[in-house]
Chain A
Amino acid sequence: MYAYDTHDQAFVEDRAREFRDQVERRLTGQLSEEEFRPLRLQNGLYLQLHAYMLRIAIPYGELNSTQLRKLGYIADTYDKGYGHFTTRQNIQFNWPKLVDTPDILDHLASVQMHAIQTSGNCIRNVTSDPFAGVAADEFVDPRPVSELLRQWSMLHPEFAFLPRKFKFAVTGAAEDRAAMKFHDIGIWAKTDDSGHPVFDLYVGGGQGRTPRVAKPFEPAVALPDLLPLLDAMLRVYNLHGRRDNKYKARIKILVEELGLENYRDEVRAELAGMDTAPFQSAVDEYERIHAQFEAAQPVMEPGESLDLSTASASLQAWVGQNVAAHRVPGWAVVQISVKPKGGIPGDVTGTQMLALADLADAFSAGELRITHRQNVVFPYVRAGDLPGLFKGLQDIGLAEDNIGEASDIIACPGLDYCGLATARSIPVAQELSTMLRAREATDALGPISLNISGCINACGHHHAANIGILGLNKAEKENYQITLGGRSDENATVGEVLGPGFDRDQVPAAIGRVLDTYLSLRSGADERFPDTYARVGKAPFKEAVYVGA
């Protein structure tokens, strides 16, 4: 993976020192909360429902075992023994004390990590395909361009105070595993006829209260043209974005209000007048980063696949469900479910982090990824090592064989932690996961995405789910709205609201009826939920859920 150069390292150390000074001034009263608030937010430190919360950046979801060990140490030393993987491939700690955060940032800097770009109206941590570099269906490794974007966007002086936060996602494979079209700008890396990387750009996607699928902006942008074009896209947004109304401030609204064609014209005009000389080194930098990623990959000699004929049923089930195709025969991309039956999506204890770090060293060349579905990926596993890894995961309660199934639920922290929430997500996820694991054992539901958000901000990606659940506050009582038919892959679609919401205790039964309807209407076992929904429409689901209730 990418390793900091001396400039990167000095930068994060300086920032940690700066923050220590700022915290000291806050604690001695030289800085008021009003003065301090933007400073702490620029370092990922929020004040949430119960306490401070520190959100730590994991650029494009990639971690090494040393970093994960450090996160485990932080969880156990400075927090309450656990952390939460988010849909931005980041990690959050829910209980840090302000007095401890300078030490935490020092610890992070010592392993090339920080909490910058995890808050505020800046370009946020770039997300990407968790299978980057190893996916069997990959055209271009998306990490070099993701890293290039990280370097370009970090503390970009023009884009530190945008109208609103700004999110990029990059993918480079046939299947979009990064929900690219639900981002302000989505980048789909491919290759041209001569094998050079080119980038299809999409703009104006997003979730929240106005969910939108990003629109195609420009196909096949060559590498030398990429950063100048992105810079121009951001400049036009920065100039025209609605600073007067935060609900209309995202680029999706600007693109809609201006019209895609007009926005494109403005970007081209901006680009024509721009001095692009500062971007000339970007191609060399891309090559340098690319070479670094290549060099850091383990040597992967093709080998034999694993003979499972005599393996236990549990190992067979786990390999069948959680292991994805690797680009090198005889190797495996292992998806580790952080969604145990009845568990809390994305929560991992310090003990589990330390054990996962050891397993990554033993079985994945010391490297792992965090996915936007709040799971973990080991990218470099020899097929022959799968039984050993499975055993290690069983020992720490992370061997659930449910990747991609309905019980692999995305859930935001909701009203258990989040100051903006209108309802809880976690207990709903726990109840559903218990119910769904039982059904999955008998019903062969196939892949289904089920996502839960605790408010309209949609951090739990409910709009993008086959089955989405949105927690609302109805007369001071939790109420849950169901959406159906969304999907976050290359055929991204926003889910439709099924009808009136449900009390919490009614949600599992309602979801059960949605699944019954799907099973009875699908054309065959290989027709996926969103395809069935697109074919038959809302009516039969609505009838089953409301009339059949």
Chain B
Amino acid sequence: MANALPTRAVLTANDVRSGDIVFWSADGSWTTDINNALISQGTETAETLLSRGQAEEAANRVVGTYLVALRPEDSAEPVPLKLREIRRLAGPSVPVPAAGTETRHAA
């Protein structure tokens, strides 16, 4: 049985080529910035977003689309409800160096 659709959510996926986390934006394209993501309000738009995700997967632009439930309060910044999504959005706890930088272990 499918889970109930969240009332406030954004559509997320990974870019097929790069693997980057992306969100579906209001201007009808994928963005890496959740602040530019289209936020669904109510299950109807959530359904629309999900079918958009399926179409995008079929077009081989992204992989693994799903809805990220957001905190219900009407804040300007979308904040995920679940721990996993909070961590996914935040990235690793430790700073990730750019390629070829010096040792991460040096104090």
Contacts and interface: CB of A to CB of B under 8 A. Distances in A.
Interface of A: 26-27, 29, 32-33, 47, 49-52, 75-77, 79-82, 95-99, 340-344, 347, 349-352, 396-398, 415-417, 421-424, 426-427, 430, 473, 476-478
B103 interface: yes
A344 B106 CA distance: 11
Interface stretch (B2-10, B18-26, B33-41, B44-52): B18-26
Given A347-B104, A350-B100, A426-B93, A99 B17 contact: yes
23 contacts: A29-B59, A50-B19, A50-B88, A51-B14, A52-B14, A52-B19, A76-B100, A81-B97, A98-B16, A98-B19, A99-B17, A344-B94, A344-B104, A347-B104, A349-B101, A350-B100, A397-B106, A415-B83, A415-B84, A424-B87, A473-B83, A476-B82, A476-B83
Contacts of A33: 16, 57, 60, 63-64
A81 B18 contact: no
Nearest to A98: B17
Contact of B60 (A32, A350, A351, A397): A32
Closest 3 pairs between A and B when the two form their complex, measured CB to CB: A51-B19, A52-B19, A416-B92
Contact of B102 (A51, A75, A79, A351): A351
Contact of A50 (B81, B82, B91): B91
Given A27-B60, A416-B87, A342 B104 contact: no
Nearest to A430: B94
Contacts of A427: 93-94
Contacts of B91: 50
Given A27-B17, A51-B19, A415-B87, 9 more contacts: A33-B63, A50-B21, A79-B99, A82-B104, A95-B96, A344-B105, A351-B103, A416-B94, A423-B83
B16 A349 contact: no
B8 to A, nearest CB: 16
Contacts of A417: 92
A119 to B, nearest CB: 16
Contacts of B99: 75-77, 79-81, 350
Nearest to B59: A29
A96 B19 contact: yes
Contacts of A75: 99
A342 B100 CA distance: 21
Interface string B50-90: 00000001111001100000000000000001111001100
B1 interface: no
Contacts of A49: 84, 87-88
A98 B82 contact: no
Contacts of A421: 84
Contacts of A50: 19, 21, 88, 91-92
Contacts of A77: 99
B14 A47 contact: yes
B32 to A, nearest CB: 11
Nearest to A347: B104
A397 B103 contact: yes
B87 A98 contact: no
A416 B16 contact: no
A99 B82 CA distance: 31
A421 B88 CA distance: 11
A309 to B, nearest CB: 31
B28 to A, nearest CB: 20
A97 B63 CA distance: 13
Given A81-B97, A397-B105, A415-B83, A51 B92 contact: no
B91 to A, nearest CB: 6
Contacts of B17: 27, 97-99
Contacts of B106: 397
Nearest to B83: A476
A397 B106 CA distance: 6
A417 B84 CA distance: 10
Contacts of A79: 99
B96 A99 contact: no
A351 B82 contact: no
Nearest to A96: B19
Contact of A47 (B57, B58, B63, B88): B63
B60 A342 contact: no
